[in-house]
């Protein structure tokens, strides 16, 4: 989703519509797959340990995902750097608040977390209502 930032470079070019559609398409696909993975894990944890632990997983995973997005977008690390380059990653995380406005980091993570929790809850409730509707019609 953060790739929408790059679309401002085309200011008025007809080619921008291709790029807008492409970025929306990939962003939607990424969000859909991410929420699907979260939902499947939510269901597994909920089935094994109960609904409280299922929602605890969501409440923990979503902010961590937001931090991961920040690390990838602004610190320019990839997921494999956790295993291949952990010292540079930790060093960047420790030094980053000194280099940048730490309030903007917190706001970035908070806004992404709230956005993802809103969307996940919306999809979860919508799925629940659809399931109930299907049961009532059979």
Each residue's pLDDT tens digit, 73-88: 888 899 899 899 999 9
Residue 79 CA to residue 83 CA, distance in Å, equals: 8
Higher pLDDT, 106 or 118: 118
Tell which residue, 60, 31, 63, 65, has the closest CA to residue 45.
Answer: 60
Q: Give the pLDDT of residue 53.
A: 98
Number of domains present in the structure of the chain: 1
Band the pLDDT of 97: cuts 50, 70, 90. low
* Residues 73 and 57 sit within 8 Å (Cβ to Cβ): no
Tell me which residue range forms the domain holding 126.
Answer: 2-137
Each residue's pLDDT tens digit, 18-38: 878 888 899 899 999 999 999
Q: 29-58 b/e with 16+ CB inside 10 Å = b? A: eebeebbeebeeebeebbeeeeeeebeebb
């Amino acid at each position: 989703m953060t790739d929408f930032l790059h679309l401002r470079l085309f200011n008025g070019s007809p080619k921008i519509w291709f790029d807008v559609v492409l970025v929306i398409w990939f962003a939607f696909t990424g969000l859909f797959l991410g929420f699907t993975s979260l939902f499947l894990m939510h269901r597994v944890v909920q089935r094994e340990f109960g609904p409280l632990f299922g929602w605890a997983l969501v409440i923990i995973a979503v902010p961590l995902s937001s931090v991961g997005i920040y690390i990838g977008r602004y610190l320019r690390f990839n997921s494999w750097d956790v295993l291949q380059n952990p010292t540079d990653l930790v060093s960047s995380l420790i030094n980053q608040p000194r280099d940048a406005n730490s309030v903007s980091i917190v706001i970035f993570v908070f806004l992404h977390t709230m956005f993802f929790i809103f969307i996940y809850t919306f999809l979860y409730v919508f799925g629940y209502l659809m399931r109930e509707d299907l049961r009532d019609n059979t």
